[in-house]
Amino acid sequence: MSEHLQIKTMAEMTAAGEQPDVLFWVGCMGSFDDRAKKITKAFAKILQKSGVKFAVLGAEEACTGDPAKRAGNEFLYQMQAFTNIQVLNAYEVKRIVTTCPHCFNIMKNEYPELGGKFEVIHHSQFIQKLLEDGKLTVEGGTFKGKKITYHDPCYLGRANDVYEAPREVLMKLDAELVEMKRCREKGLCCGAGGAQMFKEAEKGNKEVNVERTEDALEVKPDIIAAGCPFCNTMMTDGVKHFNKESDIEVKDLAELIAEAADL
For helices 34-49 and 123-132, give the axis angle rounded to 10 degrees.
30
201 domain-assigned: yes
For residues 208 and 98, membership in a common domain is answered with no
pLDDT computed for residue 106 by the predictor: 97
In a 13 Å sphere around the CA of 97, the CA atoms on its Cβ side amount to 23
76 domain-assigned: yes
For residues 75 and 177, membership in a common domain is answered with no
Tens digit of each residue's pLDDT (9 = 90 or more) over 48-99: 999 999 999 999 999 999 999 998 999 999 999 999 999 999 999 999 999 9
pLDDT computed for residue 262 by the predictor: 83
In a 13 Å sphere around the CA of 67, the CA atoms on its Cβ side amount to 13
Strands (E), 26-132: 54-55, 95-98, 119-122
Let me know if 113 is exposed, middle or buried by CB neighbors in 10 A (0-12, 13-18, 19+).
Answer: exposed
Final residue of a structural domain among 102, 129, 156: 129
For residues 103 and 174, membership in a common domain is answered with no
Mean of pLDDT values over 101-109: 97
Compute the distance between CA of residue 214 and CA of residue 224 in angstroms, rounded to an integer.
12
SS3 70: helix
Report the b/e string of 138-149 with b at 16+ CB within 10 A.
beeebbeebebb
Angle at 105 between CA 208 and CA 183, to 5 degrees: 45
Mean of pLDDT values over 207-229: 93
Mean of pLDDT values over 189-214: 82
How many structural domains comprise the chain? 2
SS3 149: strand
pLDDT computed for residue 1 by the predictor: 43
Let me know if 73 is exposed, middle or buried by CB neighbors in 10 A (0-12, 13-18, 19+).
Answer: middle
Lowest mean pLDDT across 26-30, 36-40, 143-147, 196-200: 196-200
Compute the distance between CA of residue 225 and CA of residue 214 in angstroms, rounded to an integer.
15
- Asked if the model's pLDDT at residue 259 lies above 70, the reply is yes
Q: What is the pTM of this model?
A: 0.92
For residues 105 and 147, membership in a common domain is answered with no
134 domain-assigned: no
Lowest mean pLDDT across 19-33, 142-156, 201-215, 217-231: 201-215
For residues 22 and 58, membership in a common domain is answered with yes
Final residue of a structural domain among 110, 129, 148: 129
Q: Are 252 and 42 in contact (CB under 8 A)?
A: yes
Compute the distance between CA of residue 196 and CA of residue 116 in angstroms, rounded to an integer.
26
pLDDT computed for residue 140 by the predictor: 67
20: phi then psi, degrees, rounded to nearest 5: -75, 160
Q: Are 232 and 240 in contact (CB under 8 A)?
A: no
| Dihedral over Cα of 83, 88, 92, 95: its sign | negative
254 domain-assigned: yes
Give me the CATH number covering residue 24.
3.40.50.1860
Instruction: Please choose, from the candidates 257, 14, 262, the residue with its C-alpha nearest in 3D space to the C-alpha of residue 126.
Output: 257
By residue range, what is the domain housing residue 40?
2-129
Mean of pLDDT values over 220-232: 95
For residues 85 and 179, membership in a common domain is answered with no
For residues 44 and 85, membership in a common domain is answered with yes
For residues 185 and 115, membership in a common domain is answered with no
For residues 117 and 144, membership in a common domain is answered with no
200 domain-assigned: yes
Q: Are 45 and 15 in contact (CB under 8 A)?
A: no
| pLDDT above 70 as % of the chain | 98
Final residue of a structural domain among 107, 129, 151: 129
